Amino acid sequence: MNIRKFTASILACTVIGAAVPFAQTASPQLSITASASEEYTEGTYELMTYKNYGSYIEIADCDTSVTAVDIPASIDGLPVTSVGKEAFSHCLYLTSVVIPDSITSIGSHAFYNCESLTNITLPDSVSSIGACAFYYCESLKSIKLPNGITAISNSMFKECTSLSSIVIPDSVTSTGESSFMGCDVLTSIEFPEGFTTIGRFSFCGCERLTSAELPDTLTSIGDAGFASCYSLKSISLPDSVSSMGDSVFTNCFDLESAELPDTLSSIGLKVFNGCESLTNITIPASVTSIGKDAFRNTSVLEGITILNPDCEIYDSFATITNAYSDAYPDSDDRTDYYYNGIIFGYSGSTAQEYAEKYGYKFAALDMMGKNIGDINSDGAINALDASLVLTEYAANSTGQASTLDDIAKSNADVNSDGAINALDASYILSYYAYTATGGTGSILEFI
Instruction: Choose which CATH entry (3.40.50.12780, 3.30.360.10, 3.80.10.10, 3.30.70.270) describes domain 1-149.
Output: 3.80.10.10
Cβ(130)–Cβ(122) below 8 Å: no
Q: Look up residue 396 and give its amino acid.
A: N
| Residue 270 backbone class (left: φ over 0; alpha: ψ -120 to 50; beta: rest) | left
Residue, of 376 and 34, whose pLDDT is higher: 376
Q: What is the mean pLDDT of residues 6-25?
A: 29
Query: Does the pLDDT of residue 13 top 50, yes or no?
Result: no
Task: Tell me the C-alpha to C-alpha distance, in Å, between residue 255 and each of 193, 222, 300.
Answer: 25, 18, 11
Cβ(87)–Cβ(80) below 8 Å: no
Q: Residue 439 — pLDDT band, cuts 50, 70, 90?
A: confident
Distance CA(325)–CA(321), nearest Å, equals 11
How far does the chain reach from its first CA to its final CA, in angstroms? Answer: 92
Please state the CATH superfamily assignment of the domain spanning residues 371-446 in this structure.
Dockerin domain (1.10.1330.10)
Lowest mean pLDDT, pick from 38-52, 243-257, 360-374: 360-374
Q: What is the mean pLDDT of residues 278-294?
A: 96
Helices and strands (H, E) in the chain, number of each type? 6, 31
Distance CA(52)–CA(42), nearest Å, equals 6
88 closest CA partner among 55, 53, 56, 130:
130
CA angle 156, 136, 162 (to 5 degrees): 95
Query: Does the pLDDT of residue 289 top 90, yes or no?
Result: yes
**Which pairing describes strands 337-338 and 323-324: parallel, antiparallel, or unpaired?**
antiparallel
Query: Does the pLDDT of residue 322 top 60, yes or no?
Result: yes
Instruction: Please provide residue 358's backbone torsions phi and psi, each rounded to the nearest 5 degrees.
Output: -105, 10
Query: Does the pLDDT of residue 8 top 60, yes or no?
Result: no
Rounded (10°) CA dihedral 252, 253, 256, 260: 20
Cβ(134)–Cβ(178) below 8 Å: no
User: Taking the CA of residue 415 as centre, how many other CA atoms within 13 Å lie in the half-sphere pointing to its CB?
Assistant: 13
Q: Where are the domains of the chain?
A: 1-149, 371-446
Q: Look up residue 274 and give its amino acid.
A: G
Maximum average pLDDT range among 159-168, 285-294, 336-345: 285-294
The predicted structure's pLDDT at residue 1: 36
Burial code (b: 16+ CB inside 10 Å, e: under 16) for 367-378 equals ebeebbbbbbee
**Per residue in 188-224, pLDDT tens?**
888 999 999 999 999 999 999 998 889 999 999 999 9
Distance CA(200)–CA(180), nearest Å, equals 10
Distance CA(216)–CA(205), nearest Å, equals 24
**Per residue in 60-105, pLDDT tens?**
999 999 999 999 999 999 999 999 999 999 999 999 999 999 999 9
The predicted structure's pLDDT at residue 325: 56
**Neighbouring residues of 382: CB distance < 8 A, sequence distance ≥ 6:** 428, 432
